[in-house]
Each structure stands twice: as structure tokens, then as C-alpha cells.
Amino acid sequence: MAFPEIILSPISKTTPDTLLLPFFKAEKKENEKLKEKKEGPGYEIPVLAGKKFKELADIENYLRLSQCFSGKKNEISLMRAYKLGNAHNVGLVGLGQRSGLDTEVARQVGAAIYQFQKRERLPTVSIDIQGMWAATRESKRVTTLQALCEGYYLSSYEFREFKKADQTLFHPHGIELVGVKGKDCEKARDKARHLVEAMFFAKVLGDRPSNTLTPRELARLCQEMSKGCGIQCQVLGRKEIEKEGMGLLIGVAKGSAEEPQVIVMEYRGGRKTDLPIALLGKGVTFDSGGISIKPSDRMEEMKYDMMGAATVAGIMQACATLKLPVNVIGYIGAVENMPGGKAQKPGDIQRSISGKTVEITNTDAEGRLVLADLIEYAQKQNPQAMMDFATLTGAVVVALGSVTTGIMGTHKGLLGLIKAAGELTDERVWELPLYDEYEEDLKSAYADIRNSGGREAGSQKGGTFLKFFVDKKTPWVHFDIAGSAWDRKDKNYYTPKMATGVMIRLMAQLLQHWKSLK
């Protein structure tokens, strides 16, 4: 998968196929002028974002007559064989309302431009973004540029590993962004690329079918990535996992012919004396539900039940390539949940690393069992904070849909930092409560806790189960990405029906500006 090229130039240095002109949708003041001039009902001429030029009057007249373009966000109209300067075509790019221009709009516009190039088979385009910058606060210009680059790169994602080669497919070569210069701009573009490469690694892991992404293959790919990034990676097989006493994780894997794996990736970018930040990922490479088997409808999507693991792997890659100033250890529990003859059954009791006992009342509530052992294993390193990522519950999809990630945890300061990072990166999170009352439904007559409660507040009960294994002195937050990890239709830079790579941008922001917790 070749990345398109993004060239930054103070003035245009290339001869593009197409020159893109960015336009804002007409604001009220412009609307009033149109009414005074009686330009005609129902059409408002968009406003060029940038310096005017002599040919603009002809373009505005063309728009007035054709009414083909209004400047709304992500709208792009091609004037093919319309010569302007050295370009042979002109593209009109909609930015939406001037007052609404922000990083998320820029990200979506970047994605729309790439998709436009691909659709119209345009190898290279050029766009002067000084007009966009003029409408953006100076302190936000570099991050807006980064977001534009992120959207452009993200839209180039394809997963064609199992498709026949198609020579007719067209892939744009790149884009020239005119009107930008300086080291800060180059760093922003390069940061966007590193983040998107990490997201692509997570996306490819998710999109591969479970017969080719077994726990062992997931471990191998994480080792391969780690070696290329300078990350230390250790893999524990069944014997080592049993030796560590991970009875909950082993219990999930019992019904599968595939051997479970625990993957530990360590990145050291902080001071030697800094305690690590622990990141934990649920890596159920396929989830049939086990003996509590799922309905067959859409069960093929359960290859995505390892997106928590993919997220952690992507974050670790981002930490290394961006050289973030922190010490981070990523833990992945990779298993298959299958209904084999040796599979654990409802009513079984399993034991965690620390000896806590769990009554299995639902074998389809397996991800929390994997994470519970990882939590106790990670706590041996005395982390300064711990965050886990999992496609844990369908209940979070019912509560929040796919447009945001549910979070819950034990430390208000850490939750606050995560929310702030989400605002800065446009990766939405929403806090759900962990009230003590939820513990009542997880009480067991036979063990210390049971792994599933009633249908009400399913996400919070999953979080409450995990909290049972968290040391009270360890700041901890759980990310339930079951709704946001794949098949997003709300953002044009996500590929429909495929993995998204959510939370990698957020976590890179959080870790780059990490603050010690009190």
C-alpha cells in the first residue's frame, strides 16, 4: 500500500493536472448582497478562500449560470479542460462555513480531495491553502495542516490482500499544498504520516480474516513491527502463560486448537527512573461466543474482536516513530474463543493470577477475562497509570452508537486528560459511570465474582468487573471501542465496513504531553 506524497511549497513548484480552488459557503453578508443584486432565488455564490485573481469573475459567472457548486463542506466540483495558469483542469473545493473551519473539517476536506482525485483519475493536484489559514487562528494553523494531511493519507487505505490484482485501479500520486513553509509545517506533515502509518498497521490487523490472523500470527506481526521500530517484544506461549497462573485467559482459549499468546512490547522514551504507563489490549482473534454461542448473523465481524490488541500495537508503533518522551509497556492477550470439546462451560470457575475466582456465567463475556489477567500481570511492573482497550460490549453500541468511544475508570485526573486529548484530536470519548451499585449484579454464590450480570448497564458492568482486578493505588481507565473500532460511516476518512484505528491519535496526543498524575 503506497502512501501518496504531500508536497509543501511557499509557492507552486509543480505543474499539476488540476488546480484546486477552496471556497467557503456564502455567509449572511454575501447573501444580502445577492438579494440586493437580484441574482436569483435559491443560489448563493460561494466565496473564494484566498486572494482574488482576474479569472475569478469568469468562474463566478460559470457558477452563477450552472449553479453546480455551493461550497458546502467536502463538496468538490471538477471543471475539466478549464485551463487556469499551467493547470489543465480546475477543481472547486467546499470548506463549509468560514466560521466552522476547524481541524475536523480540515481532516474531512483532506479525505474528500483524495477521494476526488481517485474518482476523477487525477494523478496530482495543487491547492493554495493560505485562504484556509487566514480563517484559522494562528495558534491552530499547524494542527489544522496536520489534520488536512491526516485526512488525505487516511483516505488512501485499501485492504486488498485477498483480492485479485486489478490493473485498472487508479491511485493518486499526491498533492501540493501551496502557501506553507517552515520546519513546523514539515513536522506536522511528517507527524500525520507517522500517525496514519500506525493506524494502518492496526487497521490491517483488524481487517485480516481470523484464519490468517491467529494468536500466533498476531504475535509474529507485533514482533516484526517492534523489531523495525526499536521496541523490545517478548511473547509468552501456553506454558509460560500457565506458569504465570493466568487461569482466566487460559480458560477462554481452552476450546480452540490455536495456542494462546501474551505479547509484551516495551518502549522506553522517558527517563530511566520514570515508571511505565501500561496499555492493555483484548486480542480475541475470533469470538464465536464459545459454548454461549453467538447468533450466526454478522458473526463474520467477530474477527474484529481483537481491535483492542490492534489499537495497543498501533499506539506502540506511534510511540516509537514519533519518539514520544514516555516509557510505555503494551500487553496483548491473544486467544480464540471457540466452542470445542475442551471449552469452558457456563458454571465453571476459573482462577486469576492473584488467585481471585470467577464463576463463568456467560462464555461470551470472555474479553474481560483476558483483560483481568493482563491487569494483574501488568501491575507487577508498578505502572504509574494503566489503560485498556477492548471491543468489550455490544451494550456500548446501544448506548453511544459508533460515533464515540465509551470510557470509564478510577482516576478523575486521568479521565480528564483523556477527554482533553480527545477534544484536541477529534477522537470523541464519553465517560460512563462505575457506581458501586453495579457490583451487586456481579456477586456470585460460588466464587469471588461472576463474569456477567443482567442486561441493564452492560458496559458499566463490564468495566466494574475489570475494576475488581485493579489495584486501588493504580490510576486506570477502560476504553470500550466496540462501537467505534470498525464500520464507521460518520467520517469520510474511514473506510466503510473496515477497521478504523481509533484512539491511536488520541493516545499519541496524551502520551506526547503526558503529565504525572496526583
**Looking at the annotation, which residues are catalytic?**
294, 368
Within 8 A by CB and 6+ apart from 173, the residues are 4, 5, 123, 124
Rounded Cα distance between 38 and 47, Å, is 17
Rounded Cα distance between 161 and 350, Å, is 39
Q: Torsions phi, psi of 481, nearest 5?
A: -100, 20
Residue in the block written with cell 485499501:
158
Whole-angstrom CA distances from 64 to 21, 431, 480 are 16, 48, 49
Burial bucket for residue 487 (CB in 10 Å: 0-12, 13-18, 19+): middle
164: amino acid identity, one letter: K
Phi-psi region of 424 (alpha: psi -120 to 50; beta: other; left: phi over 0): alpha
Whole-angstrom CA distances from 59 to 2, 79, 85, 367 are 35, 10, 14, 57
- Residue 22's Cα: distance from chain center in Å? 27
Q: What cell does 398 get?
A: 446501544
Whole-angstrom CA distances from 504 to 46, 200, 377, 454 are 36, 10, 23, 32
